[in-house]
Amino acid sequence: MLNLQFSDQTKPTAVKARQKDPLDIFSESLNQQIELVKLLQAGETLTQTKRRYVSGKRVEVDVEVRPWFWQNDHDQFLLTPRYSSQPIHINNHPSIHCGPDLPSVQAVLNHLKEALTDRDATLTEAIHEARRKTQWGKNHG
């Protein structure tokens, strides 16, 4: 008989080891939106370099960052935080009312950043739920 100490743990796959924490991914996107608001207030835009494939060849193109915020019919700004392509529904609401101007949008984004830093349970659960929706039917259903 083998006299060894056995374990049920398995070695993580390369894919699991490479995956970033969803909260870190959201944090990067949130910082990008904060930068976008600052630039828009100065009359500028924000672009990022993306990889695209044209005729089977990989090329890098600059694309404008899409804002999470917009103005409604009453000239009020609203914001829909996103995880990848998925909207993050905080307290089951699809958007957050910001106010009449870009500084109010920036204030809401900064408040979300603070909540993320503090690992607010409501926000982190909403982020994880949005991440689950990006899984194409895997692990839920």
Mean pLDDT of 11-26: 79
Secondary structure of 5-32 as H, E, C letters: CCCCCCCCCHHHHHCCCHHHHHHHHHHH
**What is the structure's pLDDT at 140?**
47
Closest to 71 measured CA to CA, from 63, 59, 80: 80
Residue 18 identity: R
Nearest CA among 70, 137, 74 for reference residue 105: 70
Q: Output the pLDDT for position 137.
A: 59
Pairwise pLDDT comparison (64 vs 17), residue with the higher score: 64
pLDDT in tens, 74-124: 999 999 999 998 999 999 999 999 999 999 999 999 999 999 999 999 999
pLDDT for the residue numbered 10: 79
- Residue 18 pLDDT > 60: yes
pLDDT at res. 69: 97
What digits encode the pLDDT tens for the residues 46-72?
A: 999 999 998 999 999 999 999 999 999
pLDDT of 3 over the 90 cut: no
Predicted confidence band of residue 141 (pLDDT cuts 50, 70, 90): very low
Has residue 9 got a pLDDT over 80? yes
- Helix boundaries (H) for 1-139: 14-18, 22-41, 102-117, 121-133
- On the question of pLDDT at 25 being above 50, the answer is yes
* Residue 2: band (very low, low, confident or very high) from pLDDT cuts 50, 70, 90: confident
**Greatest CA span in the chain, whole angstroms?**
77
